[in-house]
Amino acid sequence: MDRETRVFAESHFRGLRGRLSSRTSPTPDHVDFIEKPDSFSYADFFKGYLLPNVPCVFSSAFTEGWGSRRHWVTPHGKPDFDYLLQNYGDVVVPVANCGVQEYNSNPKEHMPLRDYISYWKEFIQQDYSSPRGCLYLKDWHLCRDSSAEGVFTLPVYFSSDWLNEYWDYLDVDDYRFIYMGPTTTWSPFHADIFHSFSWSVNICGRKKWLFFPPGQEEALRDCHGVLPYDVTAPTLLDSRQRCSPPLEVTQEAGEMVFVPSGWHHQVHNLEDTISINHNWVNGCNLASMWHFLQQELQAVQQEVSEWKDTMPDWHHHCQVIMKSCSGINFEEFYHFLKVIAERRLLLLAKETGPGEGEGSVGAGLGPQQAAFDIGRIAEVLASVVVHTDFQRLDTSMFSPQPEDLLQQLEEVVATTTSL
C-alpha cells in the first residue's frame, strides 16, 4: 500500500462515521471484468472494489502461471483424474450431498479422494446421475493437509489476509479450500463465514454465480425469518419480485471472482469444475466481522433466553455456544485483534527504524499498510472494550489488557499520521 491509497482509505472510513461500508455503497448494475494484469494495480483494486465492497471478475491471464492450471487439467480442459489420484488419492476429503437439504446446507461425509474420483467417473458414465446422489467435494483444506507449493500463487490483491495470517500463526486451521464436483453440483444460498471477503478461481470448468447485495436477502426471508435454501426455487417467485434481480456472473476456466463482504450468493457448476477458494478478513471488513459477531451472540442469547435467570454463568455459556456454532466468540476475537495488532506494531517498528526501508518486509506489507491496519484495529477495539458482553468476560489473564492495547494503538495512530 502506498501513502496516497492509505490516505484515501482513512478518509473513506472517517466519512462512514461508524456505519458499515457494505451498507452504504451504491449497488452496481453489473460486475466489472478486469482484463489485463499489467494495467491493474493493488491500489486500483483497493479503491475500486475492496473499499466500496463490490464484486469483480479477473480474467484468466491473472492465473495463467499457476501449477494447478497446468497439472490438474487435461489438454481438453477437463479434470485430470490420473494426476489427482497419483498425487492426492489417499487424502481424506469432505464431501457434501447436494441432493439432501440439512437446514440450509448439505450433510457431509469424509472419504479418500480416490473414492470420490471413482464416484465422479461413474456419475459421468451414468449421464450425470447416481443412486448415491449428487456429491460435491467441498472445503478440502489442501494447504493444511499437504504441501500446496506450486499449486497457486496468492494474488497480490488479496495479500492482506488477516484471517489466514492468524490461523497460520496458531498453526491449527485455515480458510483456504479446494472445491471439486461434476456438472449440477452447487452451493446453497449463503453469505461467507464471519462476513469475510472471498476469492474463487476456476482451475477448470464453469460456474454460475447469483449475487445479492447486503440487505437484499431480507426480502427473501420466510414468515419465520429464515433465509431460503435455494433462491431459484419456484416457490420463491413472489419473494424475488420484492427485491432487485441478482447480479449474475458466468465464471470461465482460469477466471477469478472477488466476493465482497456480506453479499449473499448461490453458485452452480455448469461443467465438471475444480476451484480454489479463500475466505479472508482485513481492515476493510473488520467492522463487518465485529457487527456479525454481535448479531451471532444476540441470536444465541435470544435462543436460550428462557434459562437466563436459572442457569449459572448464563453469559459464559452463551459465549461457549456461540463459539461452537460460529467458530469464534468475543474472547477469541480479542486475541485475533491482538495477534494482528502486535504483528503490525512490530512491522512498523522495523520499517521506521534506522536503516529500514519500504521493501524490507515480506508478503507485500509495508509501513503504510501497517499504519492503516493499526488504525482499523484501534477503531474496532474501541467498540469491543465498551461492549457490555465483552466487559462480562474474565480478562484478568489477557496480556496485554484490552484497554492497554487500545491505548498503545491510539498512540501509534497519532504518531503515524505524517508517515
Specify which of 144-153, 221-230, 263-272 reaches the highest per-range mean pLDDT: 263-272
Yes or no: say if 315 and 393 are a contact pair by the CB < 8 Å rule: no
What does DSSP say about strands 56-58 and 32-34: parallel, antiparallel, or unpaired?
A: parallel
Say yes or no to pLDDT of 190 above 90.
Answer: yes
Partner residues linked to 254 by β-bridges = none
Task: Count other C-beta atoms under 10 Å from residue 108's C-beta.
Answer: 15
Say yes or no to pLDDT of 355 above 50.
Answer: no
For the stretch 63-111, pLDDT in tens is 999 999 999 999 999 999 999 999 999 999 999 999 999 988 999 999 9
* pTM confidence score: 0.94
pLDDT at 20: 72
pLDDT at 356: 42
What stretches of 65-214 adopt beta strand conformation (E)? 92-97, 108-112, 135-140, 176-181, 186-190, 197-204, 207-212
Measure the CA angle with vertex 258, ends 174 and 167; round to 5°: 15
For the stretch 329-338, pLDDT in tens is 999 999 999 9
H/E run at residue 385 = helix 367-385
CA–CA dist 210, 167 (Å, integer): 30
